[in-house]
Amino acid sequence: MSMYNQIIANKRKTNLLIVLFVVCIIGFGYVFGSVSGYGWYGIFPAAIISISMALVSYYSGDKVALAVSGAKEIRKEDNPYVYRMVENLSITNGMPMPKVHIIQDQAINAFATGRDPQHASIAITQGAIQKLENEELEGVIAHELSHVHNYDIRVMTIVVVLVGVIALLSNWMLHVNMLGNNRDREKSPHPIFLVIGIVLMIIAPIVAELIKLAVSRKREFLADASGALLTRYPEGLARALEKIATEGASMAHASEATAHLYFANPFGRSRQWLTKLFSTHPPIEERVKALRSMS
């Protein structure tokens, strides 16, 4: 499959997952309204709370991620090799130069953050700089710049809002079932809605999280394809992934909250017990296979 076809396919799959998410919320909202007696009104406060929380993350999440990872900003004179590589790829990609940070960690990894190309930062581990060949490091940086260029932070913010709506509705449904509906005790919902409501209360947050992780994995494939298109050398990115798989090292400051941002799973082999379903990243073997199938 060509690089262009890979990009189009991954964008389409992401859009389909988000549509599925919205359909799930509409269905869950309908059941919630039937069980609680609040109709559709219950969805609005849940959406407002979720959007408010997501906006805080959207505008300040990059600073938190950089601080948690221990990333330190550098200037060109601090590391001309890395700085110029980021600069050249940014020019090629037609985007502003992001702030460049280095993480003092020997694991091979990197991440990009920022709500748009004008407010972007890229962080690269010392291990990646030391252990990757020029073409391999270039592939990793191109992948991360593609996340920014593809507005992946914005896409994931939308997904987080949708997850938040479902989580809040599920929590409220729990209270309605346990405490009863004080608004209208005389009107009882049909028993079938009570059964569906209880089932959804349990599985809806799990399904929402699975869809969020699926979207995250599709954006990784998209960034791989976009990065390969940027460098015109998919093999460099594929070799970098193989080195990460061989090394299997975890990062000292790895966090569940920021794991989805990284180029590869920052927990290394310590989280191999997780299935594909619950991972923020596709298996490295699948990413390498997809890269080597590009022409």
Give the pLDDT score at 187.
52
Give the pLDDT score at 278.
74
User: pLDDT tier at 221 (50, 70, 90 boundaries)?
Assistant: very high
pLDDT tens for 151-165 read 888 788 777 777 777
66-70, 97-101, 119-123, 256-260, range with the lowest pLDDT? 256-260
Q: Is the pLDDT of residue 258 over 90?
A: no
Contact 70, 103 (CB under 8 A): yes
Give the pLDDT score at 214.
85
Identified catalytic residue from 133, 135, 138, 144:
144
Higher-scoring residue by pLDDT: 47, 193: 47
Higher-scoring residue by pLDDT: 295, 124: 124
Q: Is the pLDDT of residue 178 over 70?
A: no
Q: Is the pLDDT of residue 184 over 70?
A: no
Higher-scoring residue by pLDDT: 21, 263: 263
Strand order in the sheet with 110-113: 72-73, 99-103, 121-125, 110-113
Give the pLDDT score at 18.
74
Tell me the percentage of the chain whose pLDDT exceeds 90: 43
87 counts as catalytic:
no
Give the pLDDT score at 98.
96
Give the pLDDT score at 251.
93
Dump the DSSP string for the chain.
Answer: --HHHHHHHHHHHHHHHHHHHHHHHHHHHHHHHHHHS-GGGGHHHHHHHHHHHHHHHHHHHHHHHHHHHT-EE--TTT-HHHHHHHHHHHHHTT-PPPEEEEE--SS--EEEE-SSGGG-EEEEEHHHHHHS-HHHHHHHHHHHHHHHHTTHHHHHHHHHHHHHHHHHHHHHHHHHHHH--SS-SS-PPPHHHHHHHHHHHHHHHHHHHHHHHHHHHHHHHHHHHHHHHHHT-HHHHHHHHHHHHHH-PPPTT--TTTGGGBSS-TTGGGGTTS-GGG-SS--HHHHHHHHHT--
Distance between CA atoms of residues 230 and 236, nearest Å: 12
Q: Is the pLDDT of residue 186 over 60?
A: no
Residue 178's domain comprises 3-292
Out of 52-56, 124-128, 264-268, give the one with best mean pLDDT. Answer: 124-128
88-92, 185-189, 220-224, range with the lowest pLDDT? 185-189
Give the pLDDT score at 276.
62
Give the pLDDT score at 182.
46
Give the pLDDT score at 200.
67
| Prediction pTM value | 0.80
Q: Give how many domains the chain has, as a whole number.
A: 1
User: pLDDT tier at 171 (50, 70, 90 boundaries)?
Assistant: confident
Q: Is the pLDDT of residue 179 over 70?
A: no
